[in-house]
Structure 1
Amino acid sequence: MHRNTLSLSRIAFATALVIAAGSATAADLYGGGATFPAPAYVGDAYNYTTPKARLSRAAGVTTPAVAFSVAGLSNNAAGPNAGLIPVFATPATDGLSYCQTGSGTGKKVLNQDTLVATGACGDASSTPATGFSALSPTPDFIGTDSPTSTADYTTFNTNMHATRGAITQIPVLAGAVAVPYNKAGVPALLALNAEKVCKIFGKVITTWNDPALGLSGVSGPIKVVYRTDGSGTSFAFSSYLATACSAWSITVTPNQNFATAVGGAGAGWIGANGNGGVVSTVKSTDGTIAYADLAEVIAQAANYATVNGYNPTGLPASLNLATGSLVQARVLDGATQNLIPTATPPLTTAQQNCLKLVPPSTTVSNAYPIVAFTYINTYYSGHAATQATALKNLLKTYYTVNASGAPTGPALPVGYSYLSANAGFRGLVNSAINGCVN
């Protein structure tokens, strides 16, 4: 059931306004990156435009000339979910802009690695986006579902360390990665378990009439639809497979490139760009199955599977993650945590500790098992004072709770959860926000 309603959004708006009121001077923040959390970040109004919008901006943001922009429910009543950014931002406080490029492109922009924030965002008919349609080449923040790797940090050290110090990486939300499918004769809510998911995406079960699926009256090849762009969703899904599938001797290596993760695309597999492209391909092609963020699956009214008896719509409002599941000062290479690469001059301990990580192997008890953790990354230093305050306000919105420990931020779209239920975990993150955005 959707937890977002207009009345809840208005309450959240008032709450966020109080949180943001600490800013003496309003600031506009420009970001972009991951598509997976976009409905929670910017609302889902972009799902109701043709073509779907890639760029969302709150009212009052100073804008360069752009081809297309759409805000969330607080400024555009096209869709049911307000999203955190347009609810948080008002012309009287801080304004925000977010371009959906995918996590890989977002990290390139953060690192000034062949792409800059002033590149064009455009709309969903433009492939690929070359930036965030921002005013400055350096972004204020990015969204990513793929934690910083050794290669990412090495590029940062080469291009950005001298001026921006270090990468600050803050986990902000969890979201369900759904398994949409389209096969005539297969009912809605196809019941899968970890073994079936592993064997389908591990190229062991390749036909709909395989006895292991237990379906009757259907036949033909299973056509897996997978992301071809650098994708945090691919990273999250391949991370789940890497953890779950070893029980059946299926080897998967977590990777932003899904074909690489599974050792190459299988026969008849279909590549697509973005979560939207994956789901639309499934919708239009019989015999397909895929992985995509739940919000996109719901927006396109695609059939999706339950896994281990759990529906992806059933995630709680906030997850209770153990304090020990928050790792710091480690990059993630596949499934392996490594030390941050050295820089000149060396990174301080304080700078290194601003890289926070929830290992993708972290399990969610008694709930849908395929969950992605998504992050907001920014620079440790080099922000204007008003930008630094606005960024802290934004990040703290994810970790502010009431006296009962319930999130005070906007009610999230179905299939997303805050990470703020555990007081110890919450305290560590809030300390990082205070000390790591300068």
Structure 2
Amino acid sequence: MFKSLRKGIALLALVAATAVAGQAGAETLINGAGATFPYPIYSKWFSEYAKIDTSVKFNYQSIGSGGGIKQITAQTVDFGASDKPLSDEELSAAAAAGGKLLHIPTVMGAVVVTYNLPGVGKGLKLTPEVLSDIYFGKITKWNDPRIAGINRGLRLPSSPIVVVHRSDGSGTTAIFTNYLCSVSPEWKTKVGTGTSVKWPIGLGGKGNEGVAGQIKTTANSIGYVELAYAFENKLPYAFLKNQAGNFVEPSIASTSAAAAGAAKHMPADFRIALVNQPGKNAYPIAGFTYLLVYQHQKNHENGKKLVEFLHWALNSGEKMAPALLYAPLPVNVKKMVEKTIKTIKY
């Protein structure tokens, strides 16, 4: 009897020890969803961070900013991601569902106008007026005098322009249409801005990936994507005329130039647009991209791990941004973000 009892106790101890060991080695899974705009750099960050903290794993679904806002509001993920600052109404809906939702800027990126023109490589120039009229369907041929007039020396085809836009709820669309509203009163009145709009014309592509794919496989097309997607797909991008009257190439430097003025007047909640900013070197279609995180985390372990990751991303992660064609946060914004992260409770 005593032998059986000792064996039973030993067996229970072994099971308990195994369970503790299993818990100690278990991964904390942090789920996120949203913007495709920052997907290249977020993928890099999650991969690199897994080497630093092997106890945490990130699962990020690149479904578009609209989807990210919906999922974080519904609290089906630990964080959302959006290139569009939430409206007051969206923040109120989130507050009713789970409390105060914070915008955590991560990096800045350029939304580029990319194209597939056989025989025409890099160097296409576009003005705000021409770009908005292409998306209105008023300019329909590549050799239209208004395009040809600002592109002397380029042999533009007489082919119809194939316009491509996002089909899903998209922060990239919000940045692009916000820009069109800022340069075209007609666009502001008739179409407006948002993660989804009623496009006058065009084909839809899902995600930055989808639009880049459409452009790559469709001759005489034009569309808008985040700079990294154009670069990755070896697609050319247009030089855009900025507020100062200069044709500017999208780059880390010109994106940072766009943020310079806006950063001086950064609101405490970080909800600010970077489109059509002043400055001779400022690229006109740029934006911050945000992680959306509830200030009061309901899951202690996930909240703790998420905050640790945010601190790492703000410091070590930012250094990886230029290699992936994103601009790091301005110094003053970075300091503000650090303070905001410290307010997260778990």
> Is the TM value for this pair above 0.5?
yes
Stretch deviating more after TM superposition (181-190 or 205-214): 181-190
Question: 2:209 matched to which residue of 1?
Answer: 276
CA-CA distance at 1:187 after TM superposition: 3.1
* In 2: Cα distance, 1:148 partner to 1:408 partner: 23
Q: Which residue in 1 is equivalent to 2:134?
A: 200
Q: Residues 386 and 364 of structure 1: is their aligned pair in 2 closer, same or farther, counting only changes over 3 Å?
A: farther
Q: 2:195 aligns with which of 242, 245, 256?
A: 256
Give the equivalent residue in structure 2 for 1:310.
248
Structure 1 residues 3-45: Cα deviation after superposition (integer angstroms, max 9, x where no partner)? xxxxxxxxxxxxxxxxxxxxxx974322121101000110xxx
Aligned match of 1:380: 295
Aligned ranges 1:332-351 → 2 under 5 Å: none
Unaligned runs of 5+ in 1: 1-24, 43-82, 113-136, 329-354, 402-406
Query: 8 Å contact 2:110–2:255 — kept in the other structure?
Result: no
The one-letter amino acid paired with 1:293 is E
Q: Is 1:232 the equivalent of 2:171?
A: yes
Contact 2:303 2:345 in 1 (8 A): yes
Which residue of the partner structure matches residue 428 of structure 1? 336
Deviations 1:250-302 (A, max 9, x none): 435221114x3xxx322xx2122111111111122222101011212222222
Q: Is residue 147 of structure 2 the alignment partner of residue 213 of structure 1?
A: yes
Distance 1:386 1:316, change over 3 A: farther
Q: Deviations over 1:103-122 (max 9, x none)?
A: 1111111112xxxxxxxxxx
| Paired letter, 2:180 | L
Q: Offset of 1:217 from its aligned partner?
A: 5.1
**Structure 2 residue matching 1:372: 3-state secondary structure:** strand
Residues 175 and 373, structure 1, Cα contact 8 Å, conserved in 2: yes
Give the CA RMSD over aligned residues: 2.7
**Structure 1 counterpart of 2:62:** 100
Contact kept, 8 Å, 2:164 with 2:223, in 1: the verdict is: yes
Identity among equivalent positions (%) equals: 30
Equivalent residue runs for 1:6-405 within 5 Å: 27-42=28-43, 83-90=44-51, 91-92=53-54, 94-112=56-74, 138-158=76-96, 160=97, 164-214=98-148, 216=155, 218-246=157-185, 249-251=186-188, 252-258=191-197, 260=198, 264-266=199-201, 269-308=202-241, 309-315=247-253, 320=260, 322-328=262-268, 355-361=269-275, 363=277, 365=279, 366-400=281-315
Would the aligned equivalents of 2:161 and 2:221 in 1 still touch at CA under 8 Å?
Answer: yes
- 1:238–1:254: 8 Å Cα contact kept in structure 2? yes
- Specify every segment of 5 or more residues in structure 2 that has no aligned partner in the other structure, as ranges: 1-25, 149-153, 242-246
Matched residues, number: 305
| Cα distance change of structure 1 residues 389 and 300 upon mapping to structure 2, 3 Å threshold | same
Closer, same or farther: CA 415–204 of 1 in aligned 2, 3 Å: farther
Shift of 1:140: 1.3
Cα distance between partner residues in 1 of 2:217 and 2:161: 14
Give the AA of the match of 1:434: K
Counterpart of 2:127, as a letter, is N
Distance between the aligned counterparts of 1:362 and 1:374, measured in 2? 17
Give the counterpart letter for 2:176 in structure 1. F
Query: 2-side partners of 1:412 and 1:28: how far apart?
Result: 28
**Higher CA-based Rg:** 2
In the superposition, the TM-score normalised over structure 1's length comes to 0.63
More helix by share: 2
Distance 1:210 1:194 in 2: 15
Please state how far the C-alpha of 1:310 moved relative to its aligned partner: 2.3
